[in-house]
Amino acid sequence: MRIITLVIIHCSATPQGVRLSFDDCRREHIRRGFSDIGYHFYITRNGEIHRGRPLEKIGAHCQNHNRHSIGICYEGGLDIRGTPADTRTPAQRASLVALLRELKRIFPKILVVGHHDLNPMKECPCFNAVAEYGELPKLK
């Protein structure tokens, strides 16, 4: 198993009212030259958690940080005008907390960050992941 130190949260940069299914995201990544979807998990607006790359495989989601991280992407991240915004649904929020708790159980020392924290040129995930998920044991 890889040594995992980070969980990096992403958004799909999909406007509200526009659907980007797991399969569509996977197809888009393959079209861009990846061997598969770059994320390990993808959470659709209804809260469904889709498995992407196996955890044993290095992701393709955050340059210079893929080797030691797990990538999670939620569908959304843009408001109806296409402006970066936290568009997570209640179902997505609940699924993300449950997934992070499970990953913390498996990898007790992981840190949770947003893509923006590692690449300030990105708005993704359009909310402060460190503030929200930095203290995983305290998540409710």
Catalytically active residues are 10, 39, 115, 122, 124
**Count of helices and strands (H, E) across the chain:** 4, 7
Strand order in the sheet with 6-11: 49-51, 41-43, 69-74, 6-11, 111-114
What tokens appear for 131 in the block? 């503030």
Give me the residues paired with residue 113 across strands.
8
What single-letter DSSP state applies at residue 73?
Answer: E
- Residues composing the chain: 140
DSSP letters, 16-46, are TT----HHHHHHHHHHTT-SS-S-SEEE-TT
